[in-house]
Structure 1
Amino acid sequence: MEPTTHDEKAGHIGLRDRLEATFWERHANPWSAGTRILVYPVLMYAIYTRNRRLIAATVAFMAVNPVLFPRPERTDNYLSRIVLAEREWLDDGNETMGLDYPNVLNTLNVPVTVYAFAAAIRRKPVGTVLGTLGVMVLKLWWTDAIVKETSVTGRAPGENSVSAE
């Protein structure tokens, strides 16, 4: 990627930029992306069963997940590409919510998430499962759409950078 800020062009990358780069590089590990997708059903189960320890552990895991795993050797796999596409999407100045496609998917996800949480709190099993599935489908649909929009392909071992065709 080309340097985008004045500091980067001048060869001076600030602490914030380095931390952000580290965040995205480590989050591009397929274990990070994959477990982050799977953590939502665990959270809904924890809320449904009123398991406070599991809720706390799940929230803690969600907080550290993006930096928990090492920078991957390769990012030419689908799970890495969804993270790289999200980074590129945001770096290009795009929003994540709105009425335009694909952001409408995240906008629709707000009431579905509220529904899922309400169903779990009220211990409605069908609503909890359907709401959880709805959240996951909408989120994966959005990430798939931005992978296609950005054309991020990732990098195999020996390649220096992420390529966007």
Structure 2
Amino acid sequence: MRMSEDVWMRHANPWSFATRLPLLLLLTIACWSRAWIGWFFLIPLAVIIAWTFLNPRVFPKPRSTRNWASKGVFGERIMVNRKEYCVEIPEHHVKAAFALTMLSLAGAILLLYGVVFLEPLSTVAGCITAYLGKLWYVDRMVWLFEDFSENPRFKNWVY
């Protein structure tokens, strides 16, 4: 995802994070609702997908970035743009990010199975696993950012 400096800063708004967090659950409910409302499930699905793309662009820059959510976004920004920023990410962060992404992916696959076949146990277990992986990943990105927080290029991101 290519984002400008301004969009990254708005993406770091804790309100942006807080309103992105429930999207997987809402997406799950919207897809599951096809069992109750048929093809009308596409309406909430479209709204959720639109919000997913609009979210990092509609919030203002945060008043303060001295919070977990903002630092998680900053860590992710460093990880995603490491070649552009010419920074070497410590191997322990790279391995952890990969492992946690795989955990989230495993949860997403289980969740997808549960939603497709309307199987509650797989749906709940997959959703929990995907959330666990994602939130742990964000926490790891906070750690990564803290490791780079004294770098002159990134120091001014915290205010």
TM category (shorter chain) comes to 0.7 to 0.9
The TM-score normalised by the length of structure 2 is 0.77
Aligned partner of 1:48 in structure 2 is 32
In the alignment, structure 1 residue 91 sits paired with structure 2 residue 90: no
| Residue of structure 1 aligned with 2:66, choices 61, 65, 76 | 76
Task: Provide the C-alpha distance between the structure 1 equivalents of 2:53 and 2:122, rounded to a whole number of angstroms.
Answer: 26
Tell me whether 1:33 sits opposite 2:17 in the alignment.
yes
Paired residues, what number?
Answer: 138
Q: How does 1:1-165 map to 2 (within 5 A)?
A: 20-50=4-34, 51-93=41-83, 100-151=95-146, 161-163=156-158
Q: Deviation digits for residues 16-59 of structure 1, max 9, x if unmatched?
A: x9x51111011011111111111110001111112221111111
Structure 1: how far apart are the matches of 2:59 and 2:148?
21
The Cα RMSD (Å) is 2.4
In 2, Cα distance between equivalents of 1:147 and 1:107? 19
1:50-104 deviation digits (Å, cap 9, x = unpaired): 222111111111011111111111111111111111112223246xxxx822321
* Aligned-partner SS, 1:100: helix
Task: Report the AA paired with residue 116 of structure 2.
Answer: I
Q: Deviations over 1:135-158 (max 9, x none)?
A: 01101111111211220798xxxx
Equivalent AA in structure 2 for residue 26 of structure 1: R
C-alpha distance in 2, partners of 1:115/1:129?
A: 9
AA paired with 1:87? R
Give the distance between the partners of 1:129 and 1:104, measured in 2 at CA: 21
Task: State percent identity of aligned pairs.
Answer: 27
Cα separation, 2, equivalents of 1:67 and 1:84 = 16
Give the aligned residue type for 1:43: L
8 Å CA contact retained: 1:84, 1:152: no
Deviation at 1:127, TM superposition (A): 1.4
Q: Are residues 152 and 48 of structure 1, via their aligned partners in 2, closer, same or farther at CA, if it must alter by over 3 Å?
A: farther
Alpha-carbon offset, residue 117 of structure 1: 1.4
Structure 1 unmatched ranges of 5 or more: 1-16, 155-159
Change (3 A) 1:26 1:153: farther
Q: Is the 8 A contact 2:107 2:128 kept in 1?
A: no
